[in-house]
Amino acid sequence: MHLTVEDALTVYPLSEGKLAAGKKGISRTISSINLMDAPDVINWMKEEELLLTTAYAIRDSPEEFVNLLQKLNERGASGLGIKLGRYWVEIPEIALIEADRLGFPLIELPFEFTFSEQITALFQSEFQRDTRRLNELLETQKKLVDFAMQADEYTNYFQSITSILGRPVAIVTS
């Protein structure tokens, strides 16, 4: 997976959530997703991972949440999604301030959707994007093969190839 946080926030049902803080970091890449079920989750976090949590493990300590944000940022995590409603009704102000200071995306996840639904949607979005890109490349390849099979001495090669590729072509020779 290689979505940015900004891209992920356009994917339903994650699009029903909101970026609560850390807007400067929305271009961070999400390469995988992890779930928090223990306070020491940081020991297993990898660079470019998005962490999802209900805040259960840190429910009694907003300061510990700020510490977690700092450690996630140091690890190069892409952001943190928090499902409010069970353990916290709102993100503590000190955490919002720290996420903004770090440029670390802090996302309020939509309560009515499971983590599984949100993760599946992100992976499906990535799969669909990759499939579209592969289909586009296959179509370009077909056009190039057709061109190669049909070109003759009167064909304007550079103009035809430029048209197929959708980019200008330059030939450099010694």
User: What does the pLDDT look like over 112-154, one tens digit per residue?
Assistant: 999 999 999 999 999 999 999 999 999 999 999 998 888 888 8
Provide the pLDDT for residue 93.
96
118 belongs to a structural domain: yes
Flag whether 90 is in a domain: yes
Contact 21, 94 (CB under 8 A): no
156-165, Cβ contacts within 8 angstroms, sequence gap of 24 or more: 164/140, 165/140
Q: Is residue 138 one of the residues assigned to a domain?
A: no
* Structural domain contains residue 154: no
pLDDT band per the 50, 70, 90 thresholds, residue 1: confident
Question: Does residue 132 sit within a domain?
Answer: no
Q: What is the CATH number of the domain that holds 16?
A: 3.40.1390.20
Q: Identify whether 41 is part of a domain.
A: yes
Task: For tokens 């979005």, name the residue.
Answer: 125
Residue 12 placed within a domain: yes
- Global confidence as pTM: 0.80
User: Could you report the per-residue pLDDT of 14-45, keeping only the tens digit for each?
Assistant: 999 999 999 999 999 999 999 987 778 888 89
Helices (H), ranges, 103-114: none
Q: What does the block give as tokens for 98?
A: 């720290």
Range of the domain at 98: 3-127
Residue 54 lies in a domain: yes
Beta strands in 25-133, from DSSP E residues, in sequence order: 29-30, 32-35, 49-53, 79-83, 106-109
Give me the number of domains the chain comprises: 1
Pairwise CA distance, residues 46 & 63, whole Å: 22
